[in-house]
Amino acid sequence: MKVIVIDCGTTNCRMRLLDGDRLLASVTKQTGAGNSAQLGNNSSLKWALKESYEELAAAEPVAMREVYDIVASGMITSSAGLMEIEHLMGPVNLIDLTGSIRRHLFPELFPQPVLFVPGVKFIGAALANHDMIRGEETELFGFLEVLTSGNEVNKERLFMHYGSHHKWIRTRERSIISSSTSISGELMMAVMNHTLLRDNTLHLEDVVPDPDWVRKGVEAVKQYGAGRALFQVRTLNVLDKQDKQASTSFFLGVIAGQDLAMLTEELLYGVEEIVLYGRNLFPSIVVPILKDFYPSIAIRVVPEEESGWLSVYGAASLYRQYKEEMKGC
Protein backbone atom coordinates (compact mmCIF):
# COMPACT_ATOMS: atom_id res chain seq x y z
CA MET A 1 0.00 0.00 0.00
CA LYS A 2 1.69 3.18 -1.21
CA VAL A 3 1.02 6.48 0.51
CA ILE A 4 2.57 9.93 0.86
CA VAL A 5 3.16 11.19 4.40
CA ILE A 6 3.61 14.90 5.17
CA ASP A 7 5.03 16.04 8.51
CA CYS A 8 5.06 19.82 8.71
CA GLY A 9 6.41 21.73 11.69
CA THR A 10 7.15 25.34 12.51
CA THR A 11 10.40 25.49 10.52
CA ASN A 12 10.56 22.36 8.31
CA CYS A 13 8.26 20.36 6.07
CA ARG A 14 9.01 16.72 5.17
CA MET A 15 7.23 14.73 2.48
CA ARG A 16 7.87 10.99 2.24
CA LEU A 17 6.72 8.30 -0.18
CA LEU A 18 6.11 4.96 1.53
CA ASP A 19 5.38 1.45 0.31
CA GLY A 20 3.94 -0.07 3.47
CA ASP A 21 6.60 0.70 6.08
CA ARG A 22 9.38 1.00 3.47
CA LEU A 23 10.67 4.45 2.47
CA LEU A 24 10.92 4.96 -1.28
CA ALA A 25 11.78 8.66 -1.41
CA SER A 26 11.90 11.72 0.83
CA VAL A 27 12.05 15.51 0.38
CA THR A 28 12.63 18.11 3.12
CA LYS A 29 12.09 21.85 2.74
CA GLN A 30 13.23 24.53 5.19
CA THR A 31 9.74 25.99 5.18
CA GLY A 32 7.00 25.57 7.76
CA ALA A 33 4.09 27.19 9.54
CA GLY A 34 6.45 29.79 11.00
CA ASN A 35 7.02 31.22 7.52
CA SER A 36 3.27 31.56 7.00
CA ALA A 37 2.90 33.33 10.34
CA GLN A 38 5.64 35.82 9.43
CA LEU A 39 4.33 36.48 5.90
CA GLY A 40 0.66 36.58 6.86
CA ASN A 41 -0.23 33.94 4.24
CA ASN A 42 0.65 30.34 3.35
CA SER A 43 1.99 30.94 -0.17
CA SER A 44 5.54 29.83 0.70
CA LEU A 45 4.24 26.66 2.34
CA LYS A 46 2.07 25.83 -0.70
CA TRP A 47 5.07 26.39 -2.98
CA ALA A 48 7.22 24.06 -0.84
CA LEU A 49 4.53 21.36 -0.83
CA LYS A 50 4.00 21.55 -4.59
CA GLU A 51 7.73 21.45 -5.30
CA SER A 52 8.21 18.52 -2.87
CA TYR A 53 5.45 16.55 -4.62
CA GLU A 54 7.01 17.19 -8.03
CA GLU A 55 10.42 16.03 -6.76
CA LEU A 56 8.90 12.79 -5.43
CA ALA A 57 7.15 12.24 -8.77
CA ALA A 58 10.44 12.72 -10.61
CA ALA A 59 12.27 10.32 -8.29
CA GLU A 60 9.61 7.56 -8.23
CA PRO A 61 7.25 8.05 -11.21
CA VAL A 62 5.86 4.49 -11.25
CA ALA A 63 5.23 4.28 -7.50
CA MET A 64 3.60 7.73 -7.46
CA ARG A 65 0.95 6.52 -9.90
CA GLU A 66 -0.08 3.95 -7.29
CA VAL A 67 -0.61 6.52 -4.51
CA TYR A 68 -4.26 7.14 -3.65
CA ASP A 69 -3.97 9.25 -0.49
CA ILE A 70 -1.72 11.75 1.29
CA VAL A 71 -1.61 11.71 5.11
CA ALA A 72 -0.68 15.04 6.71
CA SER A 73 -0.01 15.91 10.35
CA GLY A 74 1.59 18.66 12.40
CA MET A 75 1.40 22.41 11.92
CA ILE A 76 0.04 21.90 8.41
CA THR A 77 -3.35 21.59 10.16
CA SER A 78 -2.96 24.96 11.96
CA SER A 79 -4.16 28.42 10.93
CA ALA A 80 -0.64 28.97 9.55
CA GLY A 81 -0.69 25.68 7.63
CA LEU A 82 -2.41 24.39 4.51
CA MET A 83 -5.84 24.09 6.14
CA GLU A 84 -6.92 24.67 9.73
CA ILE A 85 -8.42 21.57 11.32
CA GLU A 86 -9.99 21.93 14.75
CA HIS A 87 -8.17 20.22 17.62
CA LEU A 88 -9.69 17.05 18.98
CA MET A 89 -10.53 17.33 22.69
CA GLY A 90 -8.23 15.16 24.81
CA PRO A 91 -7.73 12.65 26.24
CA VAL A 92 -7.63 10.66 22.98
CA ASN A 93 -6.74 7.15 21.85
CA LEU A 94 -5.83 5.76 18.41
CA ILE A 95 -9.45 5.06 17.50
CA ASP A 96 -10.51 8.61 18.46
CA LEU A 97 -7.77 10.07 16.30
CA THR A 98 -8.46 7.85 13.29
CA GLY A 99 -12.17 8.64 13.46
CA SER A 100 -11.41 12.38 13.39
CA ILE A 101 -9.25 12.39 10.24
CA ARG A 102 -10.53 14.98 7.74
CA ARG A 103 -10.34 14.48 3.94
CA HIS A 104 -9.92 17.47 1.60
CA LEU A 105 -8.91 18.10 -2.01
CA PHE A 106 -6.25 20.54 -3.25
CA PRO A 107 -6.18 19.99 -7.03
CA GLU A 108 -3.80 22.93 -7.52
CA LEU A 109 -1.20 21.04 -5.45
CA PHE A 110 -1.87 17.29 -5.64
CA PRO A 111 -4.12 14.94 -7.63
CA GLN A 112 -4.74 12.82 -4.48
CA PRO A 113 -6.90 13.82 -1.50
CA VAL A 114 -5.20 14.90 1.72
CA LEU A 115 -6.13 13.14 4.97
CA PHE A 116 -5.48 15.59 7.81
CA VAL A 117 -4.71 14.19 11.27
CA PRO A 118 -6.06 16.69 13.83
CA GLY A 119 -4.08 17.97 16.77
CA VAL A 120 -5.25 17.50 20.35
CA LYS A 121 -6.24 20.12 22.93
CA PHE A 122 -6.59 19.89 26.69
CA ILE A 123 -8.86 22.18 28.69
CA GLY A 124 -8.37 21.83 32.44
CA ALA A 125 -10.07 23.53 35.38
CA ALA A 126 -7.12 25.95 35.72
CA LEU A 127 -5.65 28.11 32.95
CA ALA A 128 -2.26 26.46 33.53
CA ASN A 129 -3.77 23.15 32.39
CA HIS A 130 -4.84 24.48 28.97
CA ASP A 131 -2.56 23.16 26.24
CA MET A 132 -2.47 21.78 22.70
CA ILE A 133 -0.33 19.69 20.39
CA ARG A 134 -0.13 19.27 16.61
CA GLY A 135 1.98 16.48 15.14
CA GLU A 136 3.19 15.01 18.42
CA GLU A 137 0.01 12.90 18.65
CA THR A 138 1.07 11.12 15.45
CA GLU A 139 4.65 10.70 16.70
CA LEU A 140 3.54 9.25 20.03
CA PHE A 141 1.29 6.68 18.40
CA GLY A 142 4.24 5.85 16.14
CA PHE A 143 6.36 5.23 19.24
CA LEU A 144 3.69 3.05 20.86
CA GLU A 145 3.14 1.04 17.66
CA VAL A 146 6.76 0.41 16.68
CA LEU A 147 9.13 1.01 19.60
CA THR A 148 7.21 -0.85 22.31
CA SER A 149 6.10 -4.46 22.62
CA GLY A 150 3.93 -6.60 24.89
CA ASN A 151 3.04 -5.06 28.22
CA GLU A 152 5.45 -2.14 27.59
CA VAL A 153 2.67 -0.47 25.60
CA ASN A 154 0.66 -0.02 28.80
CA LYS A 155 3.35 1.78 30.79
CA GLU A 156 2.59 5.19 32.25
CA ARG A 157 4.90 7.48 30.26
CA LEU A 158 5.89 11.11 30.14
CA PHE A 159 7.34 12.20 26.80
CA MET A 160 9.41 15.30 26.10
CA HIS A 161 9.54 16.46 22.49
CA TYR A 162 12.44 18.81 21.70
CA GLY A 163 11.72 20.93 18.64
CA SER A 164 10.73 24.54 17.99
CA HIS A 165 8.55 24.08 21.06
CA HIS A 166 9.39 21.81 23.99
CA LYS A 167 6.45 19.67 25.06
CA TRP A 168 5.87 17.35 27.99
CA ILE A 169 3.14 14.88 26.98
CA ARG A 170 1.59 12.31 29.29
CA THR A 171 0.33 8.92 28.04
CA ARG A 172 -1.50 6.12 29.77
CA GLU A 173 -1.74 2.79 27.96
CA ARG A 174 -2.68 3.83 24.38
CA SER A 175 -4.14 7.23 25.24
CA ILE A 176 -2.68 10.75 25.31
CA ILE A 177 -4.05 12.32 28.47
CA SER A 178 -2.34 15.72 28.91
CA SER A 179 0.44 18.02 27.71
CA SER A 180 2.41 21.07 28.78
CA THR A 181 4.19 23.26 26.21
CA SER A 182 6.99 25.82 26.36
CA ILE A 183 8.17 28.03 23.50
CA SER A 184 11.73 27.10 24.55
CA GLY A 185 13.14 26.14 21.15
CA GLU A 186 12.01 29.33 19.41
CA LEU A 187 13.00 31.40 22.44
CA MET A 188 16.48 29.90 22.42
CA MET A 189 17.06 30.72 18.75
CA ALA A 190 15.56 34.22 19.07
CA VAL A 191 17.81 35.06 22.02
CA MET A 192 20.92 33.60 20.37
CA ASN A 193 20.34 35.32 17.04
CA HIS A 194 18.56 38.59 17.81
CA THR A 195 19.82 39.88 21.17
CA LEU A 196 23.14 40.97 22.68
CA LEU A 197 23.69 37.38 23.78
CA ARG A 198 24.64 36.58 20.21
CA ASP A 199 28.09 37.95 21.13
CA ASN A 200 28.32 35.72 24.22
CA THR A 201 27.20 32.35 22.89
CA LEU A 202 28.46 29.82 20.37
CA HIS A 203 26.58 28.30 17.46
CA LEU A 204 24.87 25.16 18.74
CA GLU A 205 26.95 22.89 16.50
CA ASP A 206 30.10 24.24 18.18
CA VAL A 207 28.95 23.69 21.77
CA VAL A 208 30.31 20.91 23.97
CA PRO A 209 28.04 21.36 27.02
CA ASP A 210 29.81 21.57 30.37
CA PRO A 211 27.59 19.73 32.89
CA ASP A 212 28.61 21.98 35.80
CA TRP A 213 27.73 25.18 33.95
CA VAL A 214 24.49 23.63 32.68
CA ARG A 215 23.43 22.90 36.25
CA LYS A 216 24.33 26.43 37.31
CA GLY A 217 22.02 27.70 34.59
CA VAL A 218 19.23 25.41 35.82
CA GLU A 219 19.66 26.72 39.36
CA ALA A 220 19.83 30.36 38.21
CA VAL A 221 16.50 30.27 36.40
CA LYS A 222 14.93 28.59 39.43
CA GLN A 223 16.32 31.25 41.77
CA TYR A 224 16.13 34.47 39.74
CA GLY A 225 13.71 33.80 36.85
CA ALA A 226 14.46 33.61 33.14
CA GLY A 227 15.11 37.31 32.46
CA ARG A 228 17.83 37.69 35.10
CA ALA A 229 19.32 34.25 34.42
CA LEU A 230 19.62 35.02 30.70
CA PHE A 231 21.46 38.28 31.37
CA GLN A 232 23.93 36.35 33.52
CA VAL A 233 25.03 34.63 30.31
CA ARG A 234 26.48 37.99 29.28
CA THR A 235 28.04 38.82 32.66
CA LEU A 236 29.75 35.43 32.74
CA ASN A 237 31.43 36.14 29.43
CA VAL A 238 32.11 39.90 29.77
CA LEU A 239 32.78 40.43 33.51
CA ASP A 240 33.87 37.00 34.72
CA LYS A 241 35.90 36.30 31.56
CA GLN A 242 34.46 32.81 31.18
CA ASP A 243 34.83 31.40 27.68
CA LYS A 244 31.85 30.95 25.37
CA GLN A 245 31.69 27.21 26.04
CA ALA A 246 30.92 28.05 29.68
CA SER A 247 28.47 30.88 28.96
CA THR A 248 26.65 28.85 26.29
CA SER A 249 26.42 25.84 28.62
CA PHE A 250 24.94 28.12 31.28
CA PHE A 251 22.50 29.47 28.67
CA LEU A 252 21.38 25.93 27.75
CA GLY A 253 20.89 25.24 31.45
CA VAL A 254 18.57 28.26 31.69
CA ILE A 255 16.48 26.94 28.79
CA ALA A 256 16.44 23.41 30.25
CA GLY A 257 15.56 24.79 33.68
CA GLN A 258 12.42 26.41 32.27
CA ASP A 259 11.35 23.04 30.87
CA LEU A 260 12.07 21.25 34.15
CA ALA A 261 9.98 23.83 36.02
CA MET A 262 6.92 22.52 34.17
CA LEU A 263 7.25 19.10 35.85
CA THR A 264 4.43 19.30 38.37
CA GLU A 265 3.44 16.55 40.78
CA GLU A 266 0.27 16.04 38.75
CA LEU A 267 2.24 15.55 35.53
CA LEU A 268 4.65 13.09 37.18
CA TYR A 269 2.17 11.11 39.27
CA GLY A 270 2.44 7.40 38.48
CA VAL A 271 4.98 7.86 35.67
CA GLU A 272 7.12 4.75 35.10
CA GLU A 273 9.24 6.02 32.22
CA ILE A 274 10.30 9.41 30.83
CA VAL A 275 11.01 9.35 27.08
CA LEU A 276 13.03 12.17 25.49
CA TYR A 277 12.94 12.54 21.70
CA GLY A 278 13.67 15.09 19.00
CA ARG A 279 16.90 17.07 18.72
CA ASN A 280 19.88 15.40 20.40
CA LEU A 281 21.29 18.43 22.21
CA PHE A 282 18.88 18.68 25.14
CA PRO A 283 18.58 14.98 26.00
CA SER A 284 22.37 14.88 26.35
CA ILE A 285 22.29 17.57 29.07
CA VAL A 286 18.95 16.78 30.71
CA VAL A 287 19.27 13.01 31.28
CA PRO A 288 21.81 13.31 34.18
CA ILE A 289 19.63 15.94 35.86
CA LEU A 290 16.46 13.86 35.51
CA LYS A 291 18.25 10.82 36.94
CA ASP A 292 19.29 12.85 39.97
CA PHE A 293 15.86 14.43 40.46
CA TYR A 294 13.79 11.27 39.81
CA PRO A 295 15.92 8.17 40.51
CA SER A 296 12.92 5.83 40.63
CA ILE A 297 11.76 6.69 37.08
CA ALA A 298 13.34 5.01 34.04
CA ILE A 299 14.77 7.42 31.43
CA ARG A 300 14.79 6.57 27.73
CA VAL A 301 16.20 8.60 24.83
CA VAL A 302 15.07 8.13 21.23
CA PRO A 303 18.00 9.25 19.02
CA GLU A 304 17.37 12.21 16.71
CA GLU A 305 17.53 10.13 13.53
CA GLU A 306 14.94 7.66 14.84
CA SER A 307 12.84 10.51 16.28
CA GLY A 308 12.42 11.77 12.73
CA TRP A 309 10.73 8.50 11.85
CA LEU A 310 8.12 8.55 14.61
CA SER A 311 5.70 10.66 12.56
CA VAL A 312 6.10 8.21 9.67
CA TYR A 313 5.40 5.20 11.90
CA GLY A 314 2.39 6.94 13.38
CA ALA A 315 0.97 8.15 10.06
CA ALA A 316 1.35 4.70 8.50
CA SER A 317 -0.43 3.13 11.48
CA LEU A 318 -3.24 5.70 11.39
CA TYR A 319 -3.64 5.23 7.64
CA ARG A 320 -3.96 1.44 7.95
CA GLN A 321 -6.57 1.90 10.68
CA TYR A 322 -8.40 4.51 8.57
CA LYS A 323 -8.52 2.23 5.52
CA GLU A 324 -9.88 -0.63 7.64
CA GLU A 325 -12.61 1.64 9.01
CA MET A 326 -13.49 2.83 5.51
CA LYS A 327 -13.97 -0.77 4.37
CA GLY A 328 -16.69 -1.16 6.98
CA CYS A 329 -18.60 1.94 5.84
What fold does the segment set 148-301 form as a domain?
A: Nucleotidyltransferase; domain 5 (3.30.420)
Q: Average the pLDDT over each of 140-149, 178-187, 228-237 and give the range with the smallest value.
A: 140-149
pLDDT at 47: 94
**Residue-wise DSSP of 108-142:** TT-SS-EEEPP-EEE--SSGGG-EEESSHHHHHHH
- Within its chain, how far is the Cα of 232 from the centroid? 29
Closest to 34 (Cα-Cα) out of 54, 9, 6, 14: 9
Q: What is the pLDDT of residues 10-45, one digit of tens each?
A: 889 999 999 988 899 999 999 988 888 888 889 999
Mean pLDDT of the region 118-137: 92
Q: Is 246 helix (H, G, I), strand (E, B) or coil?
A: helix
Q: Average the pLDDT over each of 140-149, 185-194, 217-226, 234-243 and give the range with the smallest value.
A: 140-149
**Residue-wise DSSP of 250-272:** HHHHHHHHHHHTT--HHHHTT--
pLDDT at 154: 83
pLDDT at 129: 87
Bridge-based pairing of strands 156-162 and 273-278 is parallel
What fold does the segment set 2-126 form as a domain?
A: Nucleotidyltransferase; domain 5 (3.30.420)
Cα atoms in the 13 Å half-sphere on the side-chain side of 89: 2
Dihedral angle sign, alpha carbons of residues 129, 252, 188, 284: negative
Q: Where in the chain is the domain with CATH 3.30.420.300?
A: 2-126
**Residue-wise DSSP of 155-192:** SEEEEEEESSSEEEEEEETTEEEEEEEE-HHHHHHHHH
Q: Average the pLDDT over each of 119-128, 146-155, 227-236, 241-250 and give the range with the smallest value.
A: 146-155
Q: In this prediction, what percent of the chain has a pLDDT beyond 90?
A: 83
Cα atoms in the 13 Å half-sphere on the side-chain side of 143: 33
Judged against a pLDDT cut of 80, whether residue 193 lies above it is answered with yes
pLDDT at 304: 93
Judged against a pLDDT cut of 90, whether residue 109 lies above it is answered with yes
Bridge-based pairing of strands 70-74 and 2-8 is parallel
Judged against a pLDDT cut of 70, whether residue 328 lies above it is answered with no
Q: What is the pLDDT of residues 204-245, one digit of tens each?
A: 999 999 999 999 999 999 999 999 999 999 999 999 999 999
Q: Where in the chain is the domain with CATH 3.30.420.310?
A: 148-301
pLDDT at 74: 94
126: pLDDT confidence band, cut at 50, 70 and 90? Answer: confident
Judged against a pLDDT cut of 80, whether residue 150 lies above it is answered with no
Judged against a pLDDT cut of 80, whether residue 149 lies above it is answered with no
303: pLDDT confidence band, cut at 50, 70 and 90? Answer: very high
Mean pLDDT of the region 84-102: 94
Contact between 310 and 277 under an 8 Å Cβ cutoff? The reply is: yes
Q: Which residues contact 33 (CB under 8 A, 6 or more apart)?
A: 8, 9, 10, 45, 75, 76, 78, 80, 81
